[in-house]
Amino acid sequence: MKVLKFGGTSVGSSNSIKNVKSIIQSIDGQKIIVLSAMSGVTNLLVEISDNIHLGNQTDLIRLEESLKNKHLELVETLIPQSEIRSVVLQGLEKLFAEFHLLIHGEFSENSANQILIFGETLSTYIFNEYLRSCNIASILLNAKKFMFVGNLENPDTAKINQHLQPFLKNISEDAIYITQGFVRIDKFNRISTLKRGGSDYTATIIGAAIDAEEVQIWTDIDGFHNNDPRYVANTHPLSNLSFEEAAELAYFGAKILHPQTISPVIEKHIPIYLKNTFTPELHGTKISSEIHSKGLKAISAKDGITAIKIKSNRMLMAHGFLKKIFEIFDFHETAIDMITTSEIAISLTIDDTKNLDLILNDLEEFGEITVEMEHSIICIVGEGLIEDANTYKLFEILNEIPVRMISYGGSLNNVSILVASENKVFALKALHQKLFSSKPVAIGLKF
C-alpha cells in the first residue's frame, strides 16, 4: 500500500482536484490519500477562532459565510451532475450546520482545535464525493478514529496501526482510502492537531504504521531545491536526498516539508517522494536511506531565531555549569537550535520565544545576558560535506557579512551559520554563487 498526501494548493480549486484524481488513477495498488484543507482555509479558521475569542460577532458571521461560500462554489464547479451535486450540497450544509453550533457555542481549547481541523473535514468530504461522482470507488476514513498521537515527537505507530486496521477491510487491489491530515487525538483523548503543515507528518506516521511501500508528498513545487527559489535564481531540484539530509533541510527552514516528517519512516526505510501536482511527469525528489552522492547538496534558512549569550567568569572550569543552563530551557520546554561555547560564555539560539521572559529571569543569576532577536539560521547540507573540495568557500562569507555564530560537528552533514535576518537573502545568494554557480548574481547587503 502507498500513502499519498496532497497539500492545500493541490486541493485549492476544481482544476487542481481534477489533477489529483488523475494522479491517483495513474498509480497502481491500494492507496491511502491524506488531504490538507483547501489553500487559505486554515488561516480563515484561525481568524474565526480569534474573533470568537474577541467576541467580534460581525466579523465572525462574515468569515463563516466566506468559508461556506468557498466550499459551496467548489462543489458547484466540480460536480456537473445536478442530482449528485444536490445530494453533496445537502451533506455540506449539514457539516456547516454543525460548525455553526460549534463556533457560536462555548469557546474552549477543545472547541478551538475542532475549529482548526474543520478544513480537512470539508476537503476530504468533497473529494470523496467527487470521486464517487466519477464512478471511482473510495472509502472516507475519520482520522479521529485512529490518529492517536500522544507524543508529537515520538508517535506510537503500532497503536495507530491497531486502530486503523479494522477500517482497511476493502481487499480490492486498487482500494482508495481518503483521510484528513493535520488531525490527532492527544494523550488525554482530546481532539488536537499536528501543528501547522502537519499533514506531511500525518502521511509518514500512517506510512510507518501500515509499513507502506512508499509515501508520496504532492505539493506545488517539483521537489527539494538546492536553495530557496523564492529568493535565489537558477536553483534546481535534487533528484535524491538521504533521510538525514532531508531532515536537516526541513528542520532548518525548507518549506516544502514539515520538520518532523522524516522521523517516522527512517527505521523502516520507507522512501518519501516529493512531487509536483501540476507537473506530475517530473521526477521530483526521492528521500531514502540510499546515499547517491556525497558533498554539498543544498542550502535552507530558518527565520524567527533569537540568540542568547550568557557571559560569566564563573563558567571557567565550573563543573555542571552547562547542565544548569540546559535545565532552564528544558524546564520551560524550549528547544535549542544552535550552541557555541568559549571559556567564559555560551551563545545559543531558540525559535520559540513564548517563555523568553521566564528563561531570561532564570538565567540572570548565572551572569550577564545579551539577547539578539530577528536572526536567521542558514543551513548548508550534504553527506560528508566537510570532505567536499568546495566546502571551504562557504567560509568566505565571513569577508562579506557579519556572522553571529557558526556550528559544525553536531551533525557531520550540516554547517549552520547565524546572521541577522535582514542579511539572509544576501547570504543565500552569496553562498549559492560560491558553492553552486560560477555566474555572478545580484546581491545586496544591509549592515
In a domain, 112, yes or no: yes
DSSP string, 348-384: EEES--TTHHHHHHHHGGGSEEEEEEEEEEEEEE-TT
**What is the Cα–Cα distance from 102 to 339, expressed in whole angstroms?**
45
Instruction: Identify the pLDDT of residue 60.
Output: 95
In a domain, 324, yes or no: no
In a domain, 375, yes or no: no
pTM comes to 0.90
In a domain, 206, yes or no: yes
Instruction: Identify the pLDDT of residue 432.
Output: 94
Instruction: Identify the pLDDT of residue 316.
Output: 56
Which among 269, 281, 252 has a CA at the least distance from the CA of 204? 269
Element (H or E) spanning 341, and its range? strand 339-341
In a domain, 245, yes or no: no
Q: For the CA atoms of 363, 369, 374, 375, what is the dihedral angle to 10 degrees?
A: -90
C-beta separation of 78 from 21 below 8 A = no
Instruction: Identify the pLDDT of residue 276.
Output: 96
Handedness of CA 235, 239, 245, 246 (dihedral sign): positive
Residue 340 C-alpha cell reads as: 557555541
In a domain, 115, yes or no: yes
Q: What's the half-sphere exposure (Cβ side, CA atoms, 13 Å) at 378?
A: 29
Quick check: helix, strand or coil at residue 414?
A: strand
In a domain, 55, yes or no: yes
Query: How do strand 298-311 and strand 368-381 relate by DSSP bridges?
Result: antiparallel
In a domain, 34, yes or no: yes
Please name the residue that has the C-alpha cell 524550549: 334
447 residues of the chain, pLDDT tens digit each: 999 999 999 999 999 999 999 999 999 999 999 999 999 999 999 999 999 988 899 999 999 999 999 999 999 999 999 999 999 999 999 999 999 999 999 889 899 999 999 999 999 999 999 999 999 999 999 999 999 999 998 999 999 999 999 999 777 888 999 999 999 999 999 999 998 889 999 999 999 999 999 999 999 989 999 999 999 999 999 999 999 999 999 888 777 888 889 999 999 999 999 999 999 999 999 999 998 888 899 999 999 999 999 998 776 556 788 889 999 999 999 999 999 988 788 999 999 999 999 999 999 988 899 999 999 999 999 988 888 888 888 888 888 899 999 998 777 788 999 999 999 999 999 999 999 875 444 444 443
Burial degree of 8 (CB within 10 A; 0-12, 13-18, 19+): buried
Instruction: Identify the pLDDT of residue 315.
Output: 66
Q: For the CA atoms of 44, 47, 53, 59, what is the dihedral angle to 10 degrees?
A: -90
**What is the Cα–Cα distance from 415 to 413, expressed in whole angstroms?**
7
Q: Looking at the 3D structure of the chain, how many domains does it have?
A: 1
CATH of the domain at 19: 3.40.1160.10
**What is the Cα–Cα distance from 117 to 42, expressed in whole angstroms?**
8
Residue 226 C-alpha cell reads as: 538546492
C-beta separation of 182 from 261 below 8 A = no
Give the structural domain span for 201: 2-220
